C-alpha cells in the first residue's frame, strides 16, 4: 500500500511540474536540441523562467509597451526564449545604469530610456530569483548550445 501511495504521489508531482512548463517552451526545446537532447532539462527550466519573465515585463506595472521595440529587436537576433530574455535583461540593466549616471532626460535612445527605471529592474530581479528557486532547484545548467548563441540589443535605429 505504501508503494502505491508513493507511486501516485510521484506521478502527481510529475504531472504538476510538467503542467508548469509552457507548451511553447517544450516545442522550442525539442526543436533546438534535436542533437543535444541531454541538455533538455536545462532548456526546459531556463525556457520556462524566461517565458514567465518576458510575459511579466510586458505588463503595465512593469515596462508595458515601452519594452516592445527591445523585445522585437532581441527576438530578431536570438533564436531561443532564454536568449531573448538574456538580451532584454542585459539591455534593461545597461539602461538602468546609464540612467543612474546621466539621468533619463539625457538618454537619447528611446528604447533604452523606456526600460531604464531602476525600481522596475529591482522588481524584475526579485521575480527572477523567485522563479529560479521554483524551477531550478536542481543543478541543471543553462544549455551551452543555447548560451553560446545569445546576442545583445544595440539600441533603436535613429
| Span 109-137, average pLDDT | 92
Is 25:53 a contact under the CB 8 Å cutoff? no
Instruction: Determine, yes or no, domain membership for 124.
Output: yes
Instruction: Determine, yes or no, domain membership for 142.
Output: yes
Expressed as residue numbers, the domain containing 104 is 22-30+37-147
Please state, in angstroms and rounded to a whole number, the distance separating the CA atoms of residues 93 and 91: 5
Instruction: Determine, yes or no, domain membership for 153.
Output: no
pLDDT tens for each residue of 15-30: 444 448 999 999 999 9
Instruction: Determine, yes or no, domain membership for 141.
Output: yes
Crossing angle of helices 81-102 and 40-57, rounded to 10°:
50
How confident is the prediction for the chain on average, in pLDDT? 83
Instruction: Determine, yes or no, domain membership for 134.
Output: yes
- At residue 59, the pLDDT reads 97
pLDDT tens for each residue of 3-56: 444 444 444 444 444 448 999 999 999 998 888 888 888 899 999 999 999 999
- Domains identified in the chain, total number: 1
Instruction: Determine, yes or no, domain membership for 5.
Output: no
Instruction: Determine, yes or no, domain membership for 48.
Output: yes
Please state, in angstroms and rounded to a whole number, the distance separating the CA atoms of residues 8 and 31: 31
Q: What's this model's pTM, rounded to 2 decimal places?
A: 0.79
Please state, in angstroms and rounded to a whole number, the distance separating the CA atoms of residues 22 and 44: 9
Please state, in angstroms and rounded to a whole number, the distance separating the CA atoms of residues 50 and 19: 16
Amino acid at each position: 500500500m505504501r508503494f502505491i501511495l508513493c507511486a501516485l504521489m510521484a506521478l502527481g508531482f510529475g504531472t504538476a511540474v510538467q503542467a508548469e512548463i509552457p507548451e511553447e517552451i517544450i516545442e522550442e526545446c525539442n526543436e533546438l536540441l534535436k542533437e543535444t537532447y541531454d541538455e533538455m532539462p536545462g532548456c526546459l527550466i531556463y525556457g520556462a523562467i524566461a517565458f514567465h519573465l518576458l510575459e511579466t515585463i510586458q505588463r503595465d506595472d512593469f515596462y508595458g509597451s515601452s519594452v516592445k521595440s527591445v523585445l522585437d529587436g532581441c527576438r530578431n537576433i536570438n533564436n531561443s526564449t532564454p536568449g531573448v530574455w538574456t538580451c532584454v535583461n542585459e539591455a534593461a540593466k545597461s539602461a538602468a545604469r546609464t540612467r543612474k549616471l546621466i539621468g533619463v532626460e539625457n538618454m537619447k535612445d528611446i528604447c533604452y530610456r523606456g526600460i531604464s527605471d531602476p525600481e522596475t529592474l529591482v522588481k524584475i530581479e526579485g521575480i527572477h530569483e523567485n522563479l529560479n528557486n521554483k524551477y531550478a532547484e536542481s543543478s541543471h545548467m543553462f544549455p551551452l548550445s543555447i548560451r553560446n548563441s545569445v546576442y545583445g540589443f544595440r539600441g533603436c535605429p535613429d
